[in-house]
Amino acid sequence: MIVDFTLIAESLPIMLKGIGITFQLLIISGFLGLILAIFLLLMRISGKWYLSFPAQIYIYVFRGTPILVQIFIIYYGLPQFGFIRSSILWSILREPMGCAIVALSLNTGAYVSEILRGGVLAVGKGLIEAGSALGMSAYQKFVYITAPIATRIALPAYSNDVISLLKSTALASTITIADMTGIARTIVANTYAPYEIFISLAIVYLIFTFILQKLFGYTEQYLGRYTKREG
Amino acid sequence: MSEQSKKYLIQMKNVDKYFGEFQALKNINLEVERKERIVICGPSGSGKSTLIRCLNRLEKHNKGQVFIDGNELTDQIKDINAVRREVGMVFQSFNLFPHMTVVKNLMVAQQLVRKISKADAKQRAMHFLERVKIPEQANKYPIQLSGGQQQRVAIARALCMKPKIMLFDEPTSALDPEMINEVLEVMVDLATDGMTMICVTHEMGFARSVADRIIFMDLGEIVEESKPSEFFGNPKNERTKNFLEQILTH
Ligand SMILES: Nc1ncnc2c1ncn2[C@@H]1O[C@H](COP(=O)(O)OP(=O)(O)OP(=O)(O)O)[C@@H](O)[C@H]1O
Ligand SMILES: [Mg+2]
């Protein structure tokens, strides 16, 4: 087969118009998901069953179902309920973008909270005891000892999740959103050239993944500076 | 607060401690006066760590009473951290905060717990780093220090809180032999200075020269309690004799 480079050259700039939407999805959902994850984590490690149990159920449900199904439930399912349509949430859930951000945030929040919990559990018990022995309060120990160390430990797994979130943003195209993938699908529908368009699209995602990996790599190096003997 | 419990800096009355079914401490009675230096020794698993961890409530005792400077340690205690900041503790594994430089390790609790200003905390930190003879390491991370240096930082960190009591749980047993002395020297220096100390250690030279009293524990009990001269010269209990034979012939 012959690769149509002019088609690629023509459609790439059009596809890249979707970058803004893709980034909005990534950054807003990533941020809201992280906030949610921290709440879930605190509930999970609170030691109180009435906080920890709901968090566990939540995490189970959102990790145990496909993200695409979650997006469909929120986009197609929730508007069926009158009380949703009359609530203030409706201003968000009325828009496909709102639905996508809600779904992606709820989903990534579940995963990230488990990643953070792994980090918290990996912080040495002896360090917490040292904090206690110095008279530090539970809050002080969490903020000054547990959190910074857990962040470093959790970062590699967290960066994985952010990359995974970047790719999940493509699913937003299934609910009419014109992110990069959404635009690509429109172009393919018009040109019948799936090969050129989707390969170029894949390359664009690869470039962004590469940039994310580098950013996280530097952050890991910075946070891990105290784990190396030289220096 | 009874008169008697105020007289002693540390008092344990009929203390029992269980881990599930297992009884780790059996009817412990211990009184420590101000400036007293106690060494606790005994075989592995005899409850030495558990005993001193009950003194700052890293472990909760199940029966009996524990008083620190007249304050009883109970579940109802309003502010356990007010007691803990008076009781310094040094662990076998140093437990320095790895993400903070040495000087930050010494400053953090002063600032957060004692509410001391940053500048004063730093000044006090440097004072105690000099006292343990490693001021030049102030801006390094713990991992960049040798074990002996790390343990001296840990001692300085505890001293920065100006505690009334120092607890040591086998502070030298994770160290290479050539580093043991530098840590013991710091401890001797503290003892000479009049610090009230309880040291779990098998460094019998240290015990002999520094301790006012040596306590021998076995199977969760205090088996023998005596002055060093008596403890080494004329141990009364069979178990103490066996233990001393083993440890001194090593
Ligand atoms: N958190 C715990 N849970 C269950 N058992 C414990 C716990 N901590 C200690 N023990 C048990 O209690 C007993 C006393 O332990 P402890 O650590 O006080 O001994 P030790 O005299 O300090 O020994 P070592 O010289 O090895 O440090 C041991 O049998 C130990 O297995
Ligand atoms: Mg021990």
Cβ pair B87, A133 in contact under 8 A:
yes
Q: What is the pLDDT of residue A154?
A: 96
Residue B242 to residue B229: CA distance in whole angstroms: 17
| Nearest residue to A182 via CA among A24, A40, A22, A13 | A22
pLDDT at B129: 96
Per-residue pLDDT tens for A131-181? Answer: 999 999 999 999 999 999 999 999 999 999 999 999 999 999 999 999 999
Listed residue (B229, B98, B86, B30) closest to A127, CA to CA: B98
What is the pLDDT at residue A231? 53
Shortest CA distance from A146: residue in chain B: B97
ipTM of the complex: 0.93
* A148–B109 C-beta distance less than 8 A: no
* Model confidence pLDDT, tens digit, residues A38-70: 999 999 999 899 999 999 999 999 999 999 999
Q: How many CB atoms sit inside 10 A of residue B61's CB? A: 24
Asked if residue A100 lies in contact with residue A177, where contact means CB atoms within 8 angstroms, the answer is: yes
Q: Which of A23, A106, A36, A27 is nearest to A71 (CA)?
A: A106
One-character DSSP codes across B95-147: ---TTS-HHHHHHHHHHHTS---HHHHHHHHHHHHHHTT-GGGTTS-GGGS-H
| Among A219-228, B69-78, B107-116, the least confident range | B69-78
* pLDDT grade for A9, boundaries at 50, 70 and 90: confident
Mean pLDDT calculated for residue range B190-213: 94
Phi, psi angle pair for A89, to nearest 5°: -60, -25
* Nearest chain A residue (CA) to B59: A129
User: Is B211 within 8 Å of B37 (Cβ atoms)?
Assistant: yes
Instruction: Walk across the sheet containing B71-72 and list its strands.
Output: B22-32, B10-19, B63-68, B71-72
Per-residue pLDDT band at B107 (split at 50, 70, 90): very high
Q: What are B139's two structure tokens?
A: 């801006």
Ligand 1 pocket test: pick from B44, B59, B217, B223 the residue with the most ligand atoms within 8 Å of its Cβ. B44
CB pairs under 8 A between A and B: 71
Cα(B12)–Cα(B64) distance, integer angstroms: 8
Q: Is the pLDDT of residue B250 over 90?
A: no
Contact B217, B47 (CB under 8 A): yes
Helix (H) or strand (E) holding A118: helix A96-122
Mean pLDDT of chain B: 93
Residue B243 Cα to ligand 1 midpoint, Å, equals 18
Q: Which chain B residues are within 8 Å of A136, Cβ to Cβ?
A: 81, 109, 112-113
Give the right CATH number for A5-223 from 3.40.640.10, 3.30.750.24, 1.10.3720.10, 3.20.20.210: 1.10.3720.10
Retrieve residue B167's tokens: 């607890």
Q: Nearest by CB to B81, from A129, A137, A225: name it.
A: A137
Which residue out of A134, A149, A153 would a mutagenesis test of the B interface target, given it has the greatest number of B Cβ atoms within 10 Å? A134
Nearest to B94 by CA among B60, B30, B161, B141: B141
**Which run of H or E residues covers position B200?**
strand B196-200
Decide: B83 and B73 in contact? Cβ < 8 Å.
yes
Model pLDDT for residues B212-243, shown as the tens digit of each residue? 999 999 999 999 999 999 999 988 889 999 99
Give chain A's radius of gyration (CA, Å): 21
Radius of gyration for chain B, computed over Cα atoms and rounded to the nearest angstrom: 18
Per the rule left: phi > 0, alpha: psi between -120 and 50, beta: everything else, B247 is: alpha
Query: What is the pLDDT at residue B249?
Result: 75
| CB contact (8 A) between residue A126 and residue B93 | yes
- Domain limits, chain A: 5-223
User: What pLDDT score does A82 carry?
Assistant: 78
